[in-house]
Copies of this chain bind each other. A is one copy, B any other.
């Protein structure tokens, strides 16, 4: 598991960790039953205050995504994969809806937005297609 942390990002460091763990779980990189790196180990690896790591893990725990295995460490919960995927989808659709509303309010025409969406999907598709995500699908009606 690799993390990329940017302290000068607007997002809090602990939150960056939380998101990346959830993303890795949703993706399947982290699977249920798998142990996470210890607080000390990760704090050293990322050169980040241990408190910050601990807080991220605490957040993940209260989100029901990881659990403590006494004496062994923190492990991904059963069912976490699906939960993270749902969570991620909900988050994304929410954001997409918000951005579209703002684009309309901001003066873009529906046609412009559709064109932009098509262009972006086209340019992104190639890159993303090779990633572990499920293959093609027949277009919906």
Q: Which residues of A contact B (CB under 8 A)?
A: 7-8, 12-13, 26, 49, 52, 62, 67-72, 75, 85, 88-89, 91-118, 120-121, 124-125, 128, 131, 133-134, 137-140
Contact = CB atoms under 8 A, between A and B. Distances in A.
Given A97-B120, A105-B128, A117-B117, 6 more contacts: A8-B67, A91-B140, A96-B100, A99-B99, A110-B121, A114-B121
A137 B117 contact: no
A127 B11 CA distance: 33
A140 B8 contact: no
Contacts of A88: 106-107
B120 A106 contact: no
A117 B101 contact: no
A68 B8 contact: yes
8 pairs of A and B residues whose beta carbons are closest in the complex: A8-B67, A7-B69, A95-B140, A104-B128, A111-B139, A110-B121, A100-B120, A88-B106
Contact of A106 (B92, B108, B111): B92
A104 B121 contact: yes
Contact of A102 (B95, B105, B112, B115): B95
Contacts of A131: 105
Contacts of A92: 99, 102-103, 106, 108
Nearest to A77: B8
